[in-house]
Amino acid sequence: MATLEIRDLHVSVDAETGPREILKGVDLTVKQGETHAIMGPNGSGKSTLAYSLAGHPKYTVTSGSVLLDGENVLEMSVDERAKAGVFLAMQYPVEVPGVSVSNFLRTAATAVRGEAPKLRLWVKEVKEAMAALQMDPAFAERNVNEGFSGGEKKRHEILQLELLKPKIAILDETDSGLDVDALRIVSEGINRVRSTGEVGTLLVTHYTRILRYIKPDYVHVFAGGRIVESGGAELADKLENEGYEAYVKGGASE
């Protein structure tokens, strides 16, 4: 069973004034089949955690470790992490002009699966996955994320999640920018992947609204660059009622 183990992770970014520590000792274990919600106020470092796990060059890990089934993730290049089974659905997906969605998806699937998927099966697979997310088939011929609305970008991220079938899915604010219908469609997509029992999910969010569709096994409150409280789904209800004030006031955010 795949397990992601994050131990005492410290991460800084290059700020104008020199390195600035954003993550200040994150500990978290995510097992296949589990869903962990990470909730925290703006600027608390949620995206920093997500990007650091995926290997974005902007973030420097200064100490701590990240292991996937005992393998050192921090030593892997970005594409190696993806091949090892780490998937990041981005808060702000990037536009890639000149590259069509269909070409991109097939190239990615080929890289992650280690061989080119059989064309006929692949076309069917993509078609079905797009239909399930209520994406117009015309998106396949458009350039990656170019001119996509916020909601379309998020659907496209979840489309990739469904096709690439990672061991660990990190979903960074996949719910933001979605209207109610889109939120339901996207959540259903995530639940389809979860229901296989083969993915460990790290659901990063600011709001509790997506948790109505996706029931987490664990909820972690993230503030000031670390997890400050962990609990079950009931912790989300507490946050819904009380907000993050208690955690921020306590000086945890700085």
Partner 1 sequence: MADVNTPTGSTTAGSIEVGTAGAGAQLAGPGTGRATVQQPIDARVAVKPSFDVNDFPVPTGREEDWRFTPLHRLGGLHDGSAVSAAKGEDKVELSLPDGVTAETVGRDDARLGKAGTPVDRVAAQAFSAFEQALVVTVPKETVLTEPVKIDVHGEGGTRFAHVVIDVKPFAEAVVVINHTGTGTRAANVELLIGDGAKLTFVSVQDWERDAVHAAQQTALVGRDASFKSVVVTFGGDLVRIHPRVNYAAPGGEAELFGLYFADAGQHLEHRLVIDHDTPHCRSNVVYKGALQGQDAHAVWVGDVLIRAAAEGTDTYEHNRNLVLTDGARVDSIPNLEIETGEIVGAGHASATGRFDDEQLFYLQARGIPADEARRLVVRGFFAELVQQIGVAEIQDHLMEKIEAELEAAV
Closest to ligand ATP by CB, 43 or 231:
43
**Radius of gyration over every alpha carbon of the chain, rounded to an integer in angstroms:** 18
Cα angle: 29, vertex 159, 3; to 5 degrees: 15
Please give the residues from 169 up to 228 whose contact with ligand ATP meets the rule CB under 6 A. Answer: 173, 206
Q: Binding to ligand ATP by residue 20, rule CB under 6 A?
A: yes
- Smallest Cα–Cα separation from 134: which of 185, 195, 93? 185
Amino acid at 249: K
Q: Binding to partner 1 by residue 79, rule CB under 8 A?
A: yes
Dihedral-angle region of residue 85 (phi above 0 means left; psi in -120 to 50 means alpha; beta otherwise): left
Kindly give the pairing relationship between strand 71-72 and strand 86-89. Answer: unpaired
Residue number of the CB atom closest to ligand ATP = 47
Sole residue written with tokens 């109505």: 212
What is the nearest approach in angstroms of Mg ion to the Cβ of residue 153? Answer: 15
Closest to ligand ATP by CB, 59 or 87:
59
Please give the residues from 81 up to 110 whose contact with partner 1 meets the rule CB under 8 A. Answer: 81-83, 87-88, 90, 93-100, 103-104, 107-108
Letters for 48-77 (x = contact with partner 1 by CB under 8 A, - = none) are: ------xxxx-------------------x
Give the interface segment with ligand ATP, choosing from 43-51, 111-119, 227-235, 237-245 (CB under 6 A): 43-51
Q: How far apart are CA 149 and CA 177, in angstroms?
A: 9
Dihedral-angle region of residue 53 (phi above 0 means left; psi in -120 to 50 means alpha; beta otherwise): alpha
Q: Binding to partner 1 by residue 111, rule CB under 8 A?
A: yes
Interface residue list for ligand ATP (CB under 6 A): 13, 15, 20, 22, 40, 42-48, 91, 173, 206
